[in-house]
Chain A
Amino acid sequence: GDSVTQMEGPVTLSEEAFLTINCTYTATGYPSLFWYVQYPGEGLQLLLKATKADDKGSNKGFEATYRKETTSFHLEKGSVQVSDSAVYFCALRKGLLDKLVFGAGTILRVKS
């Protein structure tokens, strides 16, 4: 079945460091890809999305590029802040009306 694999955390970085969280997927066809963020005690917020190969999603300094050849959608940010500390989920959706399939989540801790 369809699945999403994320790098295990926690990832601990100093403020202003470069962030990469790896995400790869297994799915037939051309899924849409998403990154969600969950802050402590809150629900999930959509961070960015990409709907076709080579699309780049970006928001709040975060970026991810849909790479069909490597089935990847790695999340990057050039300079993280303490406020970026959260859990990040990579997800896919096969069809326009299909369910979201999530990765296990990666905890990010940014220290000042």
Chain B
Amino acid sequence: KAGVTQTPRYLIKTRGQQVTLSCSPISGHRSVSWYQQTPGQGLQFLFEYFSETQRNKGNFPGRFSGRQFSNSRSEMNVSTLELGDSALYLCASSSGRSGVVYEQFFGPGTRLTVL
């Protein structure tokens, strides 16, 4: 089974620009979660999508948004980039079925650098 794939792997943007990151979950998985990893704040939850609906949301400003398509692929968008948005963005997929302690499978991440 192919793992979680994230594109692009590396991205360099300048302040004020916007960026879109993509995540393809493991086949059959319907839940996709996004996390931001920085040296200062560690791993922080951004949001989770299940069957095209946002099911859970972290404490990030509205500049961070996401969506999920009918094939479970997900995108996250960051508008008006700030220097502090430089981070590794990790996507995780799972089956998302209720009633089961399911495992989240992580992708390799997208390294975003904001100059």
Question: Which residues from chain A sit less than 8 Å from chain B, CB to CB?
Answer: 32, 36, 41-46, 49, 51, 89, 93, 96-105
Contacts and interface: CB of A to CB of B under 8 A. Distances in A.
B64 interface: no
Interface of B: 4, 33, 35, 42-45, 48, 55-56, 58, 90, 92, 96, 98-109
B4 A96 contact: no
Contact of A100 (B4, B45, B100): B45
Nearest to A91: B43
Contacts of B100: 96
Contact of A103 (B42, B55, B107, B109): B42
A51 to B, nearest CB: 5
Contacts of B106: 36, 43-45
B38 to A, nearest CB: 11
B43 A102 contact: yes
A49 B103 contact: yes
Contact of A46 (B42, B90, B103): B103
Contacts of B104: 46, 100
A64 to B, nearest CB: 15
Nearest to B111: A41
B108 A43 contact: yes
